[in-house]
Amino acid sequence: MSNINVIEGKLDAGGLKIAIIATRFNDFIVERLVSGAIDYLSRHGAKESDLTLIRCPGAFELPMLCRKVAKNIDYDGIVALGAVIRGATPHFNYICAEATKGIAQVMLKTGTPIGYGLLTCDTIEQAIERAGSKAGNKGAEAAQAMLETIRVLEQLKE
Ligand code: INI
């Protein structure tokens, strides 16, 4: 193990321009994810002036806005944040599936790393737990995953 080559990303956000795209739907949860992402990036060297917050109506619109930002060479990465909470109808399943698939497609097609911070919860309690309480802050985790991916990609030649 000790002689193998290892490529891994440093968690250093210095000099990176990052867009945080956050839904207005369930904003009482999503604002906690936004705070978690900004806090994480700031504590890892990002300048506030290099962070841009873009408001998005709901999870269904996340892929479209991610796509637009990913095609803009000014941004090194995106943190996509939202919360879908199950209701009485199958609506939840359609929104979660399309948002998740869409974000993955944008990331693969454009090559821009996107941190996936979309909560898909059965209850409001589950969402609260993941937005800065019992189960951590998924906004911060999404920012970390995006940052690591950016830094690994930098080391992998085309
Ligand atoms: N959007 C969310 O981000 N979370 C939800 O829980 C949600 N629910 O439950 O309906 C939701 N719906 C709105 C959707 O994302 C679109 O914005 C809307 O359908 C307009 O296109």
- For residue range 70-126, what is the model confidence (pLDDT) as tens digits? 999 899 999 999 999 999 999 999 999 999 999 999 999 999 999 999 999 999 999
CA-CA distance, 34 to 50, in Å (whole number)? 15
Handedness of CA 72, 146, 13, 130 (dihedral sign): positive
How far is ligand 1, taken at its centre, from the CA of residue 56, in Å? 10
Residue 1 pLDDT > 90: no
Q: Which two tokens stand for residue 143?
A: 């920012």
What's residue 43's pLDDT? 98
| pLDDT tens digits, one per residue of 108-123 | 999 999 999 999 999 9
Residue 22, class by beta-carbon neighbours within 10 Å (0-12 exposed, 13-18 middle, 19+ buried)?
buried
State yes or no: is 91 an active-site residue. Answer: yes
Residue 158 pLDDT > 80: no
Cβ atoms within 10 Å of 133's Cβ, excluding its own: 11
61 close to ligand 1 (CB < 6 Angstrom): yes
Bridge partner list, 55: 22
81 close to ligand 1 (CB < 6 Angstrom): no
Question: Could you tell me which of 44, 38, 34, 36 has the C-alpha nearest to residue 14?
Answer: 44
The stretch 120-144 carries a mean pLDDT of 97
Task: Return the residue whose CA atom lies nearest to atom 8 of ligand 1.
Answer: 84
The stretch 31-49 carries a mean pLDDT of 98
Q: Which of 24, 47, 91, 101 is catalytic?
A: 91
Name the maximum alpha-carbon separation found in the chain.
55
Residue 2 pLDDT > 90: no
Candidates 84, 92, 116, 120: which one to mutate for ligand 1, based on the most atoms within 8 Å of Cβ? 84
How far is ligand 1, taken at its centre, from the CA of residue 95, in Å? 7
Domain architecture of the chain: domains with CATH: 18-157 (3.40.50.960)
91 close to ligand 1 (CB < 6 Angstrom): yes
